[in-house]
Each structure stands twice: as C-alpha cells, then as structure tokens.
Amino acid sequence: MKIQLTQNHLKIIKNHAQKTYPEECCGLILGHINNNIKKVIEIIPTENVWNTEAQTFTTETHSKNRRYAIAPQVMLQTQKFARDRNLNIIGIFHSHPNYPATPSEWDRIYAWPEYSYMIVTVENSKAGEINSFSLDENHQFQPEIIESIEEYRDNI
C-alpha cells in the first residue's frame, strides 16, 4: 500500500507534533483509496484527550506523553465533515515524543483495519522521521510507502 500526500500535509503533521511536545499529538487523515493508493486530501489536527482516569479498559497508567486519544464526538463530526465533502477518514496520525516513529504494541492492539497510521518522532521539540503503517489480515502492522508529491494535478 502507498500513501500520497503533499509537503504541506507533512508540514501540518510536524508542526502539530512540535507544538504539543512533550505530549503526543494526534489527528485525522482524510482522503480517498483507489487501487492500493491512499490519496490524502486533508490533515485535521485534533486535541489529545487521553485521560488516565477515563481509561477504564486498562490498568496501565500513562500520561499524554505516552498515549493519545481522539474524542468520539470529534471522530463523528469529522466523519460527517468528510462525507459532506465526498471524502473518507483514511488514517490517523500521532507523534512519539523521544521515541522512534514505529508503532508500539498499544498502537497495534487499538488500530483499526484499513486505516493508515502515520507516526512522527519528536526529539527535543523537533519533529523528525515520519513513517506510515497499516494492518494486515493478521492484525500486524506493515509499512506503507509514503510518497510526497508537490501538488495534486487532478481535482477530486
């Protein structure tokens, strides 16, 4: 699978990651999927609403520095916004402060099929490497090719 996005999309992700450091950032990726190519149309940064008191499904205690959550109402509003624009939510992005841009076991367990998961590493407030992954049929992450393009030539 390949995911295509512009330099501006990458800049939005990196800026959001730097702004929220040392906490994890998160956001939604809108676009289209055609012939094993995910085409990003819009990046929507969201608030990280992780709250250990609200996370009753685990006994682990972590802060926003190690976990992220997108509010359910934001997911629903974004789904409606995307549908009204003939788009889909095709992925989620988040940062790994002071940690490589590779998925954690936590990321894998709570990932949804068909979504891309873009992860950006942030070291000392500076965003670095970005990688993208999607789940295979065995619920294991596989790397996706990130293709950065200047701009889209066709209008969708």
* Residue 63: pLDDT band with limits 50, 70, 90: confident
Examine the pLDDT at 53 and tell me if it is beyond 60.
no
Query: What pTM did the predictor assign?
Result: 0.91
What is the C-alpha R_g of the chain?
A: 15
Among the listed residues 3, 12, 83, 72, the one whose alpha carbon sits nearest the alpha carbon of residue 36 = 3
pLDDT tens for each residue of 65-107: 989 999 999 999 999 999 999 999 999 999 999 999 999 999 9
Among the listed residues 35, 17, 1, 50, the one whose alpha carbon sits nearest the alpha carbon of residue 129 = 17
* pLDDT, mean of residues 114-123: 97
Residue 25 is inside which H or E element, if any? none
